[in-house]
Structure 1
Amino acid sequence: MREIVLDTETTGLDPYAGHRIVEIACLEVYSHVPTGETFRRYINPERDMPEEAERIHGLSEEFLAGHPVFAEVAQEFLDFIGDDPLVIHNAQFDLKFLNAELETCGLPKIDVSRAVDTVAIARQRFPGAQVNLDALCRRFEIDNSSRTFHGALLDCELLADVYLELSGGRQPGFDLNAAASTRQQVTQSTAKRILRPARSHSPTTEEIEAHTAMLEKLKEPIWRH
């Protein structure tokens, strides 16, 4: 099943207070495993960059000024995600921003039913525990040492690993080459097996006589009908 792991970076917390998306990243997975196909765009928010937001993602107003506005990448983004489920950490936040931007462009909004919210899954599995991305990486021993800033593509890569663990984790020892080798060994072992003639299961004369003697002691035994 194709799914898209998605993350955004923004200038703030509320699109209806004038905040905008500054980065979108998507990572394609099939059956929870990344395929290597990605989509990543930096976006000119057409506004200033608050200091507190820049401290989180490290994207300055000057850097973003040289990149396209959302309307220029919107259709390319929609084409990449298609109609597939979207795996998002705190889906309500990202979809709120994406749908505000799409609405401004006159494009259809993304239905919230498409979202697989990993925050909700983690809260259900680990009640009362921290479920931010860093905490889940620590829990599942996923290396997030390169996460000095919140970068959308890096966060997608980490979230893909977290999602795999939340979905049951990797099969221990799951190796197709090893499985093929095992099948070959079984085949070779079978080929060397010495075939013996089938053992006879017919009753002996003594067994027949013992059975007849037992029937004499029974009243109307069913074996005589």
Structure 2
Amino acid sequence: MRQIVLDTETTGLDWRNGDRVIEIGCVELLNRSLTGRHFHVYLNPGRGIDAEAVAVHGITEEFLADKPKFADVVTQFEDFVRDAELVIHNASFDVGFLDNELDLLGRDKLGRLCAGVIDTLKMAKEQNPGKKASLDALCDRYEIDNGHRELHGALLDAELLADVYLAMTRGQESLIMALDEDLPAHDVDGDGAPRERKPIKVLRISDAELQAHQSVLDDIAKANKGLCLWLAPEVPATA
């Protein structure tokens, strides 16, 4: 099970108004474990950046002046995310921007490129209705250290989101392991097919064994001044 935890930073809030992606950060999960592989790039958007956006992520036009355009890195990006399930916080935002970038180049959108998308914002709201669901709030809830997060950053936020997602879905890995486990060797035939279990023989206690057991309990009670935990107290008669 290959998943890519993804985040972006942009020039503004709406790609429909011409805003563009300026940073992409991705980390790879394989069978719910971080592999250490990541994809990270800053992009020259070819346009200005809203002051409100700079206040959030701190990325300036001057910093991006010598960075590649999306067209220069699109192949590497596609290769990294292809066929994986994406994990994104507020997925409609990032997917909208990335689909726009891909569409501008006449390339397949994420819906065809990837296996699906998990929106952790939606998941958090479903799990804890009425509670804050920002990335910072989830880090606090799941005790994930985000003290080094002074500004938004695509790679940093993707790394934090990976930890949040694993915490949010903790327990699923044990279910997956249980479903994937092979039957014990004594429960399969030589060809690997499940072996039919023999009926279990139930042994009933005999009257003699029951009397012997009661005698032992009586001796224990006698030795402990009538106290024996295994003897049920008598139920008083009701009027």
CA distance in 2, matches of 1:7, 1:15: 15
Q: Check the 8 A contact 1:25/1:41 in 2, yes or no.
A: yes
Aligned to 2:64: 64
Q: Check the 8 A contact 1:32/1:160 in 2, yes or no.
A: no
CA distance in 2, matches of 1:169, 1:44: 41
Deviations along 1:118-163, whole A, 9 cap, x unmatched? 0111111100000010000000010000110100000011000000
Q: What fraction of aligned residue pairs are identical, expressed as a percent?
A: 51
Corresponding letter in the other structure for 1:21: V
Corresponding letter in the other structure for 1:38: H
Aligned to 1:161: 163
CA distance in 2, matches of 1:22, 1:129: 30
Q: After the TM superposition, which parts of structure 1 deviate over 3 Å for at least 4 consecutive aligned residues?
A: none
Aligned to 2:147: 145
Aligned residue pairs: how many? 175
Q: How does 1:164-179 map to 2 (within 5 A)?
A: 164-168=166-170
Aligned to 1:111: 111
CA distance in 1, matches of 2:90, 2:33: 20
CA distance in 2, matches of 1:156, 1:107: 24
Cα 1:84–1:170, aligned 2, differ >3 Å: closer, same or farther? closer
CA distance in 1, matches of 2:143, 2:109: 36
Cα 1:169–1:133, aligned 2, differ >3 Å: closer, same or farther? farther
Aligned to 1:76: 76
Q: Check the 8 A contact 1:32/1:163 in 2, yes or no.
A: no
CA distance in 1, matches of 2:83, 2:151: 30
Aligned to 1:18: 18
Q: Does 1:121 align with 2:123?
A: yes
Deviations along 1:195-224, whole A, 9 cap, x unmatched? xxxxxxxxxxx99xxxxxxxxxxxxxxxxx
CA distance in 2, matches of 1:100, 1:127: 31
SS of residue paired to 2:110: coil
Cα 1:31–1:41, aligned 2, differ >3 Å: closer, same or farther? same
Specify every segment of 5 or more residues in structure 2 that has no aligned partner in the other structure, as ranges: 174-207, 210-239
Q: Does 1:31 align with 2:31?
A: yes
SS of residue paired to 2:133: coil
Aligned to 2:42: 42
SS of residue paired to 1:111: helix
SS of residue paired to 2:38: strand
Cα root mean square deviation, aligned: 2.1
SS of residue paired to 2:160: helix
CA distance in 1, matches of 2:22, 2:33: 27
CA distance in 1, matches of 2:33, 2:93: 24
TM-superposed deviation, 1:30: 1.3
CA distance in 2, matches of 1:142, 1:74: 32
CA distance in 1, matches of 2:119, 2:110: 14
CA distance in 2, matches of 1:128, 1:31: 31
Alignment TM-score, normalising by the size of structure 2? 0.70
Corresponding letter in the other structure for 1:152: A
Cα 1:67–1:29, aligned 2, differ >3 Å: closer, same or farther? same
Specify every segment of 5 or more residues in structure 1 that has no aligned partner in the other structure, as ranges: 172-205, 208-225
TM-superposed deviation, 1:31: 2.2
TM-superposed deviation, 1:32: 2.1
TM-superposed deviation, 1:170: 9.8
